[in-house]
Amino acid sequence: MTDRPVRPAPVVLTPCADGPILVRGEVEIRDGAGQIVPRRRATVALCRCGASAIKPFCDGSHKAIGFRTDDEGSRPEEPTT
Ligand code: FES
């Protein structure tokens, strides 16, 4: 029997329609100055609307500003009439 190196779990990024990008997995997040931003949770939501007061994390402000994304793949299908 050989000892195989243990592969870390993959990092998964999930864009949310009209909202943040969810990040699951071990990843180092740095700010614009290159400093590590401490994580308090295993899954974090990164702001992509620019309105968050706690960047780089989402604080829910995207809803208040009516942020919309164009990534149709992450948007549930709307019923046709
Ligand atoms: S994406 Fe949520 S506050 Fe920006």
Residues 46-74: b if buried by 16+ CB within 10 A, e if exposed? bbbbebbeeebbbeebbeeeebeeeeeee
β-sheet bridge partners, residue 21: 15, 46
**Ligand 1, pocket residues at CB < 6 Å:** 19-20, 47-49, 51-52, 58-62
Cβ proximity of 57 and 68 under 8 Å: no
Q: What is the mean pLDDT of residues 49-64?
A: 96
Q: Is the confidence at residue 58, as pLDDT, over 80?
A: yes
78 located within any domain: no
In the reported structure, the alpha carbon of residue 53 is separated from the centroid of ligand 1 by a whole-number distance in angstroms of 9
* Model confidence, pTM: 0.77
More confident: 13 or 72: 13
* Residue 53 within any structural domain of the chain: yes
Give residue 46's domain range.
Answer: 13-27+41-70
pLDDT recorded at residue 68: 96
Query: What percentage of the chain carries pLDDT values higher than 90?
Result: 65
Residue 60's domain is classified under what CATH number?
Answer: 3.40.5.90
For residue 35, tell me if it sits in a domain.
no
Does a structural domain hold residue 23?
yes
Best mutation site among 44, 57, 67 for ligand 1 pocket (most ligand atoms within 8 Å of CB):
67
Give 80 Cα–ligand 1 centroid separation in angstroms.
Answer: 29
